[in-house]
Amino acid sequence: MQSLPFEPISKILLFLHLVAAVVALGSSIHLMLRLSRALRGAFFPQARLHAAILAASYSVTFTLGGLIYPAFRIRVRHDYLDAALPWATGLFEIKELGASLALFSAIGVWLLMRAVDFKQQEHRPYAVACIAMTSYVFIVLAFNAWSGWYLGTLKSI
């Protein structure tokens, strides 16, 4: 059987994809909670670091997912899901396209956090913008974590 791009190391990449996704999910929850407290005046000294972790872990998750995709597209989607479980293909399509939509938000939160100074009262509205974008990233990550796990129970690479 002909090997697909990155297929020989796809299981390792899938594991790293999972690890990076867990880090991204955790950092998005942490960032949302701490930013909400910062709005009420709490000190958040490592806001930029947490935003950088979110942007980096999301980008790594996204890139690794892209590397795994050729093996998944043929061995799982084409060979099984498309014919036997088309709704699962729909679920996967929503997962991968949603991941693309949240990428700019994850990077945007990091760029915005680099510019926000919580000591300045006039910067508070930008914290709300950060919370809004982080919340969207969190929702996408949570949905993708659930759908990725569920699709894995049906068939995986």
Partner 1 sequence: MEWMVPGHIEVDLTMKNPATVLLCVSIAIFVFCGSFLWNPPSPRFHPIERVWRMPGAEGLGPAMGWYGRTGAAMLAGAGAGGACLVLTTVASRRKPISLTPAVVYIITAIALATLIGASAGIVHEQRSWFYKTPLAPPPSHEY
Within 10 A of 102 (CB to CB), how many other CB atoms are there? Answer: 23
Write down the least CB distance from residue 107 to partner 1, Å: 8
Binding to partner 1 (CB under 8 A): which residues in 102-121? 102-105, 108, 111-112, 114-116
Interacting span for partner 1 (CB under 8 A) from 9-17, 18-26, 38-46, 123-131: 123-131
- What is the rounded distance in angstroms from the CA atom of residue 11 to the CA atom of residue 85? 23
Write down the least CB distance from residue 112 to partner 1, Å: 5
Nearest CA among 40, 25, 52, 22 for reference residue 138: 25
Binding to partner 1 (CB under 8 A): which residues in 69-98? 69-71, 73-74, 78, 83-87, 89-91, 93-94, 96-98
- What is the rounded distance in angstroms from the CA atom of residue 16 to the CA atom of residue 18? 5
- What is the rounded distance in angstroms from the CA atom of residue 134 to the CA atom of residue 71? 31
Residue from the set 26, 136, 145, 156 that interacts with partner 1 by CB under 8 A: 136
Question: Tell me, what amino acid is at 138?
Answer: F
Asked if 56 touches partner 1 (CB under 8 A), the answer is no
Q: Which is nearer to partner 1, 26 or 66 (CB)?
A: 66
Kindly list the residues in this chain that would bind partner 1 in the complex (CB under 8 A).
2, 4-5, 66, 69-71, 73-74, 78, 83-87, 89-91, 93-94, 96-98, 100-105, 108, 111-112, 114-116, 122-126, 128-129, 132-133, 136, 140
